[in-house]
Amino acid sequence: MVNAVKLPKSFVALFHCLGFSCLFGAVLHEILTFVEILQYGRSVVVEPNPAILTSEIALSFFTLIYFIYLFQHFIRSIKPSK
């Protein structure tokens, strides 16, 4: 049996708040992009500021990790049928 590390509840709450806000932001960004493509037939997005671009990439990786975490948690919560 593996001993799990217990994290403080405030850290877990912060982790979930940041994760859900990143997931919602990603979904909202996709919706806005698709609306722009439907209206204008194309979407051109350029971010000239390297600091903002780096933070967006870091948040995208965090969102991917959080999504994988949620997916694994969901799959493990399903009880196998006998």
Tokens coding 25: 């932001």
pLDDT in tens, 10-31: 888 888 898 889 889 888 888 9
- Say which range, 3-12, 39-48, 65-74, has the weakest mean pLDDT: 3-12
* Higher per-residue pLDDT: 47 or 38: 38
CA distance readout (Å), 54 to 11, 18, 28, 45, 57:
24, 17, 20, 15, 5
Q: What is the mean pLDDT of residues 56-69?
A: 89
Please state, in angstroms and rounded to a whole number, the distance separating the CA atoms of residues 16 and 23.
10
The pLDDT, as a whole number, for residue 80 is 79
36 touches 43 (CB < 8 A) = yes
Tell me, rounded to whole angstroms, the distance of Cα 54 from its chain centroid: 16
What is the overall mean pLDDT for the chain? 86
Please state, in angstroms and rounded to a whole number, the distance separating the CA atoms of residues 69 and 63.
10
32 pLDDT higher than 70 = yes
The pLDDT, as a whole number, for residue 2 is 59
